[in-house]
């Protein structure tokens, strides 16, 4: 069979083969980069609705369980998430906190923050962690965390932040400031006398 005519030069067969066989090869990825990528992907995994429902259902019947049994069940649910997942660490911290094991709870809260806890849980974790620190005698750190949180964000948990900050300030011997904060938070919920109580609260905090 005659070779089809071509307007361009005819390449030798070996050169044609080499050009067709050429493929791009991705540069090798370092082991460190592989570990970092795996960690990022792991923490991008978010619990599904079914998991969230089962965890909420478990907390709803907290009082029906013995502490060890409740902790076991929380461990089973968090075990469905990758090890070290921020949500898993937060839930474990909450569980240990609820059964009175503050030191273990504090470690899990710190892990949750370090792993990048989502904003929906971050503020709750901050309040819980600060309360745990106060119970552990680390009152200065507790007050610092809550003061920063009070100044940085605003949502339906504002009064909770203020209430736990007032507790920490009381432990620090700053009772008038604590009372002022508590009364200021309360003033927003009274049917009347809101302005008067708010002003008295400010006076307490300024003295």
pLDDT (tens, 9 = 90+) of the chain, 207 residues, equals 444 444 555 444 444 444 444 444 555 555 554 444 444 545 557 889 999 999 999 999 999 999 999 999 999 999 999 999 999 999 999 999 999 999 999 999 999 999 999 988 999 999 999 999 999 999 999 999 999 999 987 899 999 999 999 999 999 999 999 999 999 999 999 999 999 999 988 888 887
pLDDT, residue 154, reads: 87
Task: Indicate the CATH number of 47-117 among 3.55.50, 1.10.8, 1.25.40, 3.30.1360.
Answer: 1.25.40
pLDDT, residue 164, reads: 97
Delimit the domains of the chain by residue range.
Answer: 47-117, 139-207
CB burial of 64-79 (b: ≥16 within 10 Å; e: otherwise) equals eeeeeebbebbeebbe
- CA-CA distances (angstroms) from residue 23 to 18, 54, 152? 10, 49, 53
């Amino acid at each position: 069979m005659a070779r089809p005519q071509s307007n361009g030069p005819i390449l030798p067969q070996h050169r044609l083969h080499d050009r067709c066989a050429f493929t791009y090869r991705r540069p090798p990825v370092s082991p460190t980069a592989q570990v970092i990528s795996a960690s990022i992907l792991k923490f991008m995994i978010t619990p599904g609705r079914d998991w969230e429902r089962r965890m909420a259902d478990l907390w709803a019947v907290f009082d029906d369980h013995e502490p060890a049994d409740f902790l076991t069940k929380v461990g089973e649910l968090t075990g469905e998430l990758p090890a070290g997942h921020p949500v898993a660490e937060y839930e474990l911290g909450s569980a240990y906190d609820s059964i009175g094991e503050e030191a273990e709870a504090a470690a899990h809260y710190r892990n949750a923050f370090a792993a990048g806890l989502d904003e929906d849980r971050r503020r709750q974790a901050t309040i819980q962690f600060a309360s745990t620190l106060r119970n552990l005698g680390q009152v200065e750190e507790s007050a610092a965390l809550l003061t920063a949180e009070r100044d940085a964000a605003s949502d339906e948990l504002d009064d909770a932040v203020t209430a736990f900050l007032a507790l920490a300030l009381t432990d620090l011997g700053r009772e008038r400031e604590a009372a002022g904060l508590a009364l200021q938070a309360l003033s927003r919920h009274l049917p009347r006398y809101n302005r008067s109580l708010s002003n008295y609260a400010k006076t307490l905090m300024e003295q």
